[in-house]
Amino acid sequence: MLIVPFLSPQASARDYTLEEATANITIYPEGAVHVEESVSYTFDGDYNYVYRMIRTSTEESIRNIKGYCSDDACKFRVERISEGYRLIGDLPEHTPENLTFYVSYDHYGAVKVHDDVSEFHRQWGEEWEKPLGNLKVNITFPIKNDSEILYWTHPAGYTQEENLNHNVLNLKTEEIPSSYDYKVRVVFPKIESPDSSSVRIDNEKNLEKILAEEKEYRQKELKLEGLYDITLYFLFFILVIPVFIYLIYGRELKTGLEEKTGYEGETNSEEKTNSEGKTNPEEKTDHEMETNSEEGAGHEKETGHEDRSDHESKTDYKRKIRLIEIYKRKPDEDFRPAVVNAIMKGKLGIPTIDGFTATFMDLANRGYISLRNSGPEEADSSNISGSETEDFMIELNHEMCPEIKGKYYEIEGRRPEVRGSKSELKESELADFEKDILKLLNDHSSERKISWREFKKELEGTEEFYKFMISWGKKVRKHSEIDRFFQSTGSTYMNLFSRAILASAIVYYIALSGYFPSSEFPGVSKVNMLAALIGIWGFIMTKNSEIFVKVFGRWTSEGKLYYELWGNFREYITDQSALKNCPPESVKTWDSYLVYAASLGVAKQAFRNMSLIVPFEKLEESSFRPISYHYYDHSVHGFENACSSPYQGVDGTERSSKSSSFEEKDGEP
């Protein structure tokens, strides 16, 4: 690229083509060979010379060399080189557009006389850097009976026309690619009384050996043709296999919500009750929910669903009923934010950085840490240069975290709380991965407080934080129970399959190139191209295996329901119109929602929506008031709300505060 600008326009644009070549060869009775050859060029630009390379062994020589160009356009000369001879035609300053280069010579030692037959070899094309349009070859033998002549061309696929007329072999090729050889091998009756100065003499019988070599070559060509077909079918096979893996292991199951839980019947009956002015379904007690669960199970039995598997136990069934509550856009706090993030956004239960942020926010919401605006003296003492709007102080709560023992915080003076069926949380309200974040905050704080900017500065890009996140993610995965929600069998099979395909393609490509040299078997390039495509496909699938986890894996029936319900919550918390019509009941509820919004990666949208909906004075009640202020739009003073909410309207009148902010409107929840 650096050289191109310095090249002259004429030099940089020059090119040439090899239109055609001819070779008229006569084998004399004593074994000497007379050769007349020509090569036709078309030039675009100026060139210095044209040449023809004649390769010879130490037992060979060429004599009576002559050469010229059409219209006397070049000066002919011969150059002796280690490989043989170079016949050169030096071109004038301005190269003609069309030119034919002619050479002729006598070749001694080109014929090899064995004890049973004579053998002649000839090849063209190796030195040509451009494709040759076609080659015409005529070989005249010193015998009259053409039935005694055997010949082979390599590669046979280049031969377009061939015939043996009396003692003359006529060949014509199609285009020969650049740097590829075209070879002719001929066997004819042994020359009687051969002259060692004209031929090479070998006193061994080699006809059977020659026939065996040519038979092997032909068999290789047939194998190569077969391998091309097999490789093509295999390429189709590896493209189809992922489809089968997807259909068997990756196609999502229907949740069957109405059929499996009888929820539709319960909802209909509840709506009917409501229409008659009876109990609101939102106000059902736990006993009523359990009763409905049992009724739903009975309904399944009546409708023929008696073959529920063992894992569809009553406990699992009740858990599904509890998950249905999220359908009403209420997050289930039995699932820790990091766990929700690991299942919804992570890779097979490994959380993302959003899970870390959500856990940090959850600790603030539950009172283990507190967030406040930085004081002037704290801002002045900060060693972080530059101005940054999103900064606040983080303080560890002395009462909630009285001391640190070893690796984790030991929570004292607080009654352990059992959340849902999470038996592993019975010993403490905090999970081990939550304790780790408190420990991390304490290690980087001074007097149990630290600036958010300073905390980020100390952690970002450090090996310490990288190792922390690896260890932390593994702990979250243990709590995520990902196998309960997601089946990764198809993803595992696809990953193994793509790795096997990549390794096989590499081995196959190397084996092909070794067994079928491209100089002798140009057809191998087609097979190698297919092998390369297979290898590239395997590499792409292996490299992006993380992306395809959820394509070839699938959610369990419970996981599918879980995913859809949390998706509903994500849509709700990011839908400004829905939040304005049916806002959370209180700032405390908002804070809980913001934690789960962070775990789902939509914290910024949720904070912006909160700033548009919650009155400014109410933000003081939020655990995240230092963060909320950055998103608050002071030009927005209030909004009209059709649902019940404890907030006050613009006119100062107090809105009613019922037990639920989700009421029926026009027959819809």
DSSP state of 637: -
For 333-342, the pLDDT digits (tens) are 668 899 999 9
The residue among 5 and 553 whose pLDDT is bigger is 553
Q: Output the pLDDT for position 163.
A: 93
Confidence class of residue 545 from pLDDT cuts 50, 70 and 90?
confident
238 and 371 inside one domain: no
DSSP string, 579-604: HHHS--SSHHHHHHHHHHHHHTT-HH
364 and 512 inside one domain: no
DSSP state of 98: E
For 61-84, the pLDDT digits (tens) are 999 999 999 999 999 999 999 889
Rounded Cα gap, residues 113 and 90, in angstroms: 37
41 and 177 inside one domain: yes
Q: Output the pLDDT for position 568.
A: 87
Rounded Cα gap, residues 79 and 72, in angstroms: 20
**Domain's final residue, options 496, 525, 554:** 554
53 and 157 inside one domain: yes
Q: How far is CA 104 from CA 34, 35, 65, 112, 134, in A?
A: 8, 5, 6, 21, 20
* Predicted TM-score (pTM) of this structure: 0.61
Does 565 reside within a domain?
A: yes
Amino acid at 2: L
What CATH number is given to the structural domain containing 155?
2.60.40
DSSP state of 330: -
242 and 108 inside one domain: no
Rounded Cα gap, residues 134 and 664, in angstroms: 84
Does 262 reside within a domain?
A: no
Q: Average pLDDT in the 208-213 region?
A: 92
Q: Is the confidence at residue 648, as pLDDT, over 80?
A: no
Q: How far is CA 462 from CA 51, 439, 458, 500, 646, in A?
A: 63, 17, 8, 36, 45
H helix intervals, 129-206: none
Q: Average pLDDT in the 562-586 region?
A: 87
Confidence class of residue 556 from pLDDT cuts 50, 70 and 90?
confident
Rounded Cα gap, residues 120 and 137, in angstroms: 14
Q: Output the pLDDT for position 560.
A: 85
> Can you tell me whether residue 64 is helix, strand or coil?
strand
Token pair for residue 610? Answer: 């909160």
Does 468 reside within a domain?
A: yes
Rounded Cα gap, residues 553 and 494, in angstroms: 9
Does 419 reside within a domain?
A: no
For 302-334, the pLDDT digits (tens) are 444 444 445 445 555 555 545 444 444 556 566
526 and 511 inside one domain: yes
179 and 234 inside one domain: no
For 243-277, the pLDDT digits (tens) are 999 888 888 776 554 444 333 333 334 433 444 44
Range of weakest confidence among 241-245, 282-286, 396-400: 282-286
Q: Average pLDDT in the 343-351 region?
A: 87
> From its phi and psi, is residue 207 left (phi > 0), alpha (psi between -120 and 50) or beta?
alpha
Does 55 reside within a domain?
A: yes
633 and 561 inside one domain: yes
Q: Average pLDDT in the 119-134 region?
A: 88
Q: How far is CA 378 from CA 361, 371, 429, 452, in A?
A: 22, 14, 32, 12
**Domain's final residue, options 507, 529, 554:** 554
510 and 583 inside one domain: no
- For residue 99, the surrounding DSSP H or E stretch is strand 98-108
Q: Is the confidence at residue 385, as pLDDT, over 60?
A: no
Rounded Cα gap, residues 160 and 135, in angstroms: 10
Domain that holds residue 580: 328-375+392-397+429-485+556-644
Rounded Cα gap, residues 571 and 576, in angstroms: 10
Give the number of domains in the chain.
3
Q: Output the pLDDT for position 481.
A: 85
177 and 80 inside one domain: yes
Does 9 reside within a domain?
A: no
452 and 531 inside one domain: no
Torsion angle, CA of 424/425/430/431, rounded to 10 degrees?
20
Q: Output the pLDDT for position 302.
A: 42
The residue among 369 and 661 whose pLDDT is bigger is 369
**Domain's final residue, options 517, 538, 554:** 554
Cβ neighbors of 403 (< 8 A, separation 6 or more) are 409, 410, 412
What percentage of residues in the chain have a pLDDT greater than 70? 73
Q: Output the pLDDT for position 611.
A: 85
Q: Is the confidence at residue 650, as pLDDT, over 70?
A: no
Rounded Cα gap, residues 296 and 447, in angstroms: 56
Strands 15-27 and 135-140: parallel
Cβ–Cβ < 8 Å for 267, 324: no
* Backbone phi and psi for residue 149, each to the nearest 5 degrees, phi listed first: -105, 130
Does 94 reside within a domain?
A: yes
Determine how many CB atoms are found less than 10 A away from the CB of residue 632: 18
481 and 561 inside one domain: yes
Does 29 reside within a domain?
A: yes
